[in-house]
Chains A and B, each alone.
Chain A
């Protein structure tokens, strides 16, 4: 589902964000990308949605080689990928339901499809009663659920999460992780960048560890750190 082959990214100012990264992620996997701030986690995600171009190497997402994809095809690539961010990125002037519906509208889904899908997806994330509320009337955890609903409503093949629990307390984070796990069980590949030890350690999924742009560990059913660090 996601394959990178000797991918490097050097920014214009000379910073080496990623160096020779090769990973292969299968359909339906749940993968953590861990490492301290500045280790290249975010750059890795930005490369997958083609917000950045790799300096070297090839990338395949959802069966397509994306590093030489022409720019007008990028929107169609992104329809296969859902994105969740630390800062939710919700539109404050739209209600919960409208925020989620927006993702369907902008790719031209018919009104009837929007009307049937929105209640279903809000049910899935547990926000059915909050459909008419505005984001600033919700807690952080609820806002993140809205953003997950928006990322998932078009049934992408891959869900990319960049520090989705970064702004949330541990209890709320657990709820979010349960939701992501549920989405993963529908066959959706989930890739989550995080530096939250307890989450990684309790889930025991595949862990890809980056340090200063290098791939230092790729381990099934891993912990956040190895040995003493855990």
Chain B
């Protein structure tokens, strides 16, 4: 086996050297397609984390019209207290809203100075027993007289989920196209390698080399192409994950950095995919172009 092992490795690298440009473009295509796949996986993970966190503390804000009368407000309040899904609620008057606002933006003088009394509406803040019921509760309050707007995070969640679904679907489409391109490029690289060595292959078959002996260097070449490409993609994804952490430390509002663990996990998935793409590509080439 030692002779064979050395032989196979030597032949594999010779093939890659001979066809360096082809091999390089195949490797880059693998890297790009897998980096895209990795991004899709990470984005999914990221949005799942955010959505999950938001779901946990859904609060409904019922903003009242500025011209809402006292009886209307009373009616809204009694309606809210009659809904069984409501855990607790609180009335926030215009004055309280202003105080809260001034507290929240005390660093930004211009902002505070521009917002005078009466600009911010009064509101009810409702916490639910079950966040899933936000829609049902919201619908019951929406049309009441004196109510201006009912806001709750689940709308945002829905919108975010819809957007990420579209984004991931779009990216998955490109991932598929790039993956096919990667397989075909690898197949073509192997085809050229087979063509460059057809004389040798002929002699090998003539003196009784087994079919597997002829195939192995080419299979290794495909596998190596996929592997190197996936390692590049791994590095890219890892860099991206580290970047999200940097963004988080600069702007804490982005409360969803990708953890190192998740990045490595995704990277390993990419490596498996890369090797798969490599084997598939060389398999196709050998089936079609190597008559053994």
Contacts and interface: CB of A to CB of B under 8 A. Distances in A.
Contacts of A68: none
Interface stretch (B119-127, B209-217, B234-242, B265-273): B209-217
A111 B208 contact: no
A150 interface: yes
Contacts of B166: none
A49 B202 CA distance: 13
B4 A75 contact: no
Interface residues of B, number: 17
B7 A107 contact: no
Interface stretch (A52-60, A76-84, A178-186, A202-210): A76-84
Contacts of A110: 3
A200 B199 CA distance: 31
B208 A89 contact: no
Nearest to B214: A106
Contacts of A89: 199, 202-203, 206
A102 B207 CA distance: 9
B3 A106 contact: no
How many residues of A sit at the interface, in one of the four size bands? Answer: 20 to 34
A78 B3 contact: no
Contacts of B50: none
A95 B286 CA distance: 28
Contacts of A103: 203, 207
A36 B121 CA distance: 108
B200 to A, nearest CB: 6
Nearest to A108: B4
B205 interface: yes
27 contacts: A72-B211, A75-B209, A77-B208, A78-B206, A78-B207, A78-B208, A79-B208, A83-B206, A83-B207, A89-B199, A89-B203, A91-B199, A91-B200, A91-B203, A102-B204, A102-B207, A103-B203, A106-B207, A106-B209, A107-B207, A107-B209, A107-B213, A108-B3, A108-B213, A109-B3, A151-B207, A154-B207
